[in-house]
Every structure is written in structure tokens, then in C-alpha cells.
Amino acid sequence: MNSRKIIVEILDKVFFEKTYSNLELGKRLNESSLNDKDKALVTEIVYGTIKYKLYIDSIIKNFVNSIDDIDPKVINILRSAIYQIKFLDRVPDYAVVNEAVNLTKEIDSSLTSFINGVLRNYLRNKDNITIKTLGTKEKLSIEYSFPKWIIQKFLKQYGLEETERILRGLNSIPDVTIRVNSLKGDYDDVFSELEEAGYEVEEGVVCPEAIKISRGKNIEKNPLFNEGKITVQDESAMLVAPLMDLEEDMKVLDICSAPGGKTTHISELMNNKGEVYAFDIYDHKLDLIKENAGRLGLSNIKTEIMDGTKINSDFINFADRVLIDVPCSGLGIIRKKPEIKWNKTNKDVEELIVIQKQIMENAWNYLKKGGVMLYSTCTLNKEENEDNIEWFLKKNKDAVIEDIYVGKLDNIIYNNDKTITVLPNKNMDGFFIAKLKKI
């Protein structure tokens, strides 16, 4: 199948059916017969078009009466073509236009002259287009291609300079990061094997188990992955398990565990001893954890369906350690899931905060005295982070916040309340961690 057609079909799924870009992309590329070079181009155009949708639409508005009047069947042909002309130089402009017109002809031949007209008009005027904005918020919104509600939230919580830094980080292109499973593989041996297999690799920036891959074939098809010597995980998420002060004989609960990256890291750090309970509300997600645990050679993980918002009396005062990586707005992982910009609303965030508080309260009941609960999110929204911790400490007098230190990096903020915020950059996702002890 034509790579441009795959691009547009993925974009239609993401924008119209709210599917996850990474899952849809993975599925379609695995089904396709495209070579590695074409797969890389498809990936770049899909993520880039989603990432810069607002900016692209602001360009299109210069050549149409109303963007809402454009036929949904061809809007993403137009968007992906504009993205290529504006941001890429791999394909000549005339070829981008011809391919867009040919694809439109396949879908609805009556719209070919419209697509051809808009794109050729853009090519003639692309160096003279000015996008007028009113004020800082709108300027940032269009320039970085983020909805105004997110811009407004970041400006209020972080100020202008830090907001721009965050937006740049969230628009950066992430490398793949892997975690070496010390139970099966030696770090130096894994590093050397990857180099010998043609991967461009370097050590992680903060976690001793991390290896960053900047170039190479799909790592999940590599023997090291299939043998369970490595697993894919962002370095921000890798910070969590080591902060839990784990010991081999402990009972550990991971309340919102799927797909199991942190669960399996906990198990590895416990040398596959003790008991690790992984909970989720969906069977198919628990199957994913079992699959990962099996591949990594971990046998101390027990999976069970459980809703973190409902108390389970079987686990009251049961655990030495509890991890709650709570459902959140995901505003820290937009560089990997850019559709979050367009699929989330401020109302969604407000509803999530209610859920987060319920999970915190229930998880605290599962913890023994002297135990530690780690709270983490992949968002930068302080209402889901620092504000939740402040609320929890006021309500639970047997909770104290513990100091945490993960190293000195310019994107790690040690907050005044002893929590940490990881700002997104080319190496790490945006993240938040707090460590609470039950006294």
C-alpha cells in the first residue's frame, strides 16, 4: 500500500476516532510491506502532522474561507502535505503536491482541483505568510501548536520562560530508551551487542540501567528484547522503582500497573523475590503485564483485577510499599503521544483529579505503618501533582513527605515541598514524583 495513504488513514483514525497514535502507527506499519526507510518517513509525517496540527491549520486558513468546510475525507491529505512542505526537505515540493492530488483522486476525484489549488497557492506564497496573533497566549498557542487551555495552565503555573522550555521539550522528537534487566543481562554486554547490531547507542542521562538508542531497527524485534534482557521504558519512569527503597522479602502493590514497566522494574530490583501485586481494571491489560513478566523471567508478580477507586478490604495494612502511578492528563508525554493536545480538555483534567484523590486514599489504607507510598504522574499540571500532595498531607496526619534525590540535571526541579518535577526534553518525558511515609 502507498505510504501516503497509510499516513492519511492513521491521521483519520487519530483525529476522528481518537485512537492512540503510537498504537495505530505500530499496527499499520507491522501490517505493511514498507521498507525501514519508508516506515521512518511515515512515522515522522504522522507524528509531525499531529504535533503541529494547529500551526498547519493556521496556514490552511490563509487559502480557504473556513477550515470547517473542508471535506473530512481530504483534510488530512492537506495537513500532511503542508507538514512535509513546511518542515521536511526529503521529498521535493512538487512531488508532495502530486502525491496529495493522486491520493485525493483515489478518494474523491471531485476534490482534486481543490487540493491542487490550495497546495500550489501555498507554494507560491509560503515565504510571505504571516500568522497574526493577539497577545502572548495566542502567539504561543500557534507557534508551538498547543490548545490555549494548556498554554494558559502552564503560564499560570510556571511563568513564561519555563512554559516555553516545556513546550519546546514536548515538541522534541524522542529517542528510544531501554532498561537493562540485570537478572538476565549485563549492562556492558548489552551495550556492546547493540553496537555490534548497528544501533547508535549511548548511556542514559540519569538511570544506571538506561541505554538510549538514537538510530537502529525496531528494538522489539531484536533478540535482546525477545530474550528478556531489555525492555523499553523512558528514563523518567525508570526513576520511580529505585526510590521505593525495596527489599527482597517485601510485599509491594502497584495499583495502576499496566502495561507493567514499573511493576517489572520493581520485581527486578527485588531480585525476583518477595511478592509484587499488579492491579488493573482490564483483563487484557493484565495479560500485557503477564506477557512482559514472562519475557523478563519474573515469577514474583501476581496480577489481579482491581479498581483503585474502590477499597479492597483484602489488602488493608497489607503492603510494605505501594506505588500509585495514577491516571492523569498525560501533559508530560506529549512528545510521544501528541494527540493528547487535541483529545484532552480541561474538564477531563478536573474529573481525573477526583479519581486521583480516591486512589490516594485507598492506597494509603493498604500500607503498613512505616511503609512507603510513591505517587507519580506523567503530567506537568500542578493541580494533579503538588496540589494533590498538599491536599493529602492535610487530610492524613499519619503521612510525612520524604526527601528524594535522583541526580543533578537541568531538567529536574526539586520542589519546595520535597517532590520532584521532571521537565520534558529530548531525553526524558515530563514527570512528577512524591514519596510519602506512613508514621
If asked whether residues 252 and 347 sit together in one domain, one would say yes
Q: Is residue 352 assigned to a domain?
A: yes
pLDDT at res. 37? 86
CA distance 401 to 159: 26
pLDDT at res. 423? 98
Q: In terms of residue numbers, what domain contains 328?
A: 235-438
If asked whether residues 248 and 311 sit together in one domain, one would say yes
How many folded domains does the chain comprise?
4
Segment among 129-133, 137-141, 233-237, 335-339 with least mean pLDDT: 129-133
Task: List, for residues 331-365, the tens digit of each pLDDT value.
Answer: 999 999 999 999 999 999 999 999 999 999 999 99
If asked whether residues 427 and 380 sit together in one domain, one would say yes
pLDDT at res. 116? 95
Q: Is residue 131 assigned to a domain?
A: no
Q: Is 307 annotated as a binding residue?
A: yes
Mean pLDDT of 400-419: 96
pLDDT band at 158 (very low <50, low <70, confident <90, very high): very high
pLDDT at res. 1? 57
If asked whether residues 298 and 410 sit together in one domain, one would say yes
Q: Is residue 224 assigned to a domain?
A: yes
Q: Quick check: helix, strand or coil at residue 429?
A: coil
Q: Is 32 annotated as a binding residue?
A: no
If asked whether residues 249 and 373 sit together in one domain, one would say yes
Q: What string of DSSP letters covers 282-336? A: -HHHHHHHHHHHHHHT--SEEEEE--TTS--GGGTT-EEEEEEE-----TT-TTT
- Is 328 noted as a catalytic residue in this protein? no
CA distance 48 to 55: 11
Q: Is 257 annotated as a binding residue?
A: yes
pLDDT band at 315 (very low <50, low <70, confident <90, very high): very high
Task: List, for residues 89-120, the tens digit of each pLDDT value.
Answer: 888 999 999 999 999 999 999 999 999 999 99
Q: Are the beta carbons of 427 and 212 closer than 8 angstroms?
A: yes
Q: Is 207 annotated as a binding residue?
A: no
If asked whether residues 335 and 257 sit together in one domain, one would say yes
Check which CATH number belongs to the domain holding 338 and give it: 3.40.50.150
If asked whether residues 83 and 144 sit together in one domain, one would say no
If asked whether residues 274 and 246 sit together in one domain, one would say yes
pLDDT at res. 221? 86
If asked whether residues 308 and 181 sit together in one domain, one would say no
Best CA proximity match to 425, nearest among 88, 154, 175: 175
Check which CATH number belongs to the domain holding 81 and give it: 1.10.940.10
If asked whether residues 50 and 141 sit together in one domain, one would say no
If asked whether residues 144 and 196 sit together in one domain, one would say no
Give the residue with greater pLDDT, 243 vs 135: 243
If asked whether residues 299 and 419 sit together in one domain, one would say yes
pLDDT at 63 over 80: yes
Task: Indicate the helix (H) or strand (E) that contains 106.
Answer: helix 93-107
pLDDT at res. 238? 98
Task: List, for residues 176-231, the tens digit of each pLDDT value.
Answer: 999 999 999 999 999 999 999 999 999 999 999 999 999 888 898 899 999 999 99
pLDDT at 132 over 80: no
Q: Is 256 annotated as a binding residue?
A: yes
Active-site residue, from 194, 378, 412, 420: 378
